[in-house]
Amino acid sequence: MMDNTLYIEGIDIKSALGRVAGNEKLLRKLLGRFVETQTDAVTRIKTAIALNDLETAIRESHTIKGLAGNFGANTLFHNAETLEFLLREPMRDHLDEVLLTLEIEFKQMMQKITVSLAITEVSPQTNLQ
């Protein structure tokens, strides 16, 4: 099992495992669920902002922040936290920049999680045809 240990660049796996009592299987499940349920989260935020539905944009940002914090994606956490803070402010200076930064980090994290889970879950069976 040691050769199949979960590693995802940009995620503090040690602290994430600490939050799930060392249960790597549960962490994998949570990461997979994050990818499944949050794939279009940035699109939902952008749409909400375009519709001036700040409540929804704030809620979506808060969700990303919470989930990223739970599994140790610290950069994504901070980007979502900054966006959530800005959305609550009357003056939203740099909103477009912050949203773009979040979007880039979010897409990269989604890809890293997807690739890592696929590799680590399939790797024991690579000899099967």
Rg of the chain taking only CA atoms, in angstroms: 16
Q: Quick check: 66 and 36 in contact, CB under 8 A?
A: no
Of the two residues 61 and 4, the one the predictor is more confident about is: 61
With 50 as the cut, is the pLDDT of residue 17 above it? yes
* pLDDT recorded at residue 49: 95
Report pTM. 0.86
Give pLDDT tens digits for 22-75.
999 999 999 999 999 999 999 999 999 999 999 999 999 999 999 999 999 999
Residue 1 pLDDT = 39
Q: How many Cβ atoms are within 10 Å of 120's Cβ, its own excluded?
A: 17
Instruction: Find where tokens 């936290």 sit.
Output: 81
Enter the tokens of residue 58: 């704030």
One-letter amino acid of 43: T
Residue 122: the pLDDT is 52
pLDDT at 5: 78
Q: DSSP states of 40-104 as a string? A: THHHHHHHHHHTT-HHHHHHHHHHHHHHHHHTT-HHHHHHHHHHHHHHHSSS-TTHHHHHHHHHH
In the block, tokens 């001036």 appear at 52
Domains in the chain, start-ordered, CATH in brackets?
2-120 (1.20.120.160)
Residue 128 has pLDDT above 70, yes or no: no
Report pLDDT digits (tens) over 80-126. 999 999 999 988 889 999 999 999 999 999 999 999 998 765 544 44
pLDDT of residue 125: 45
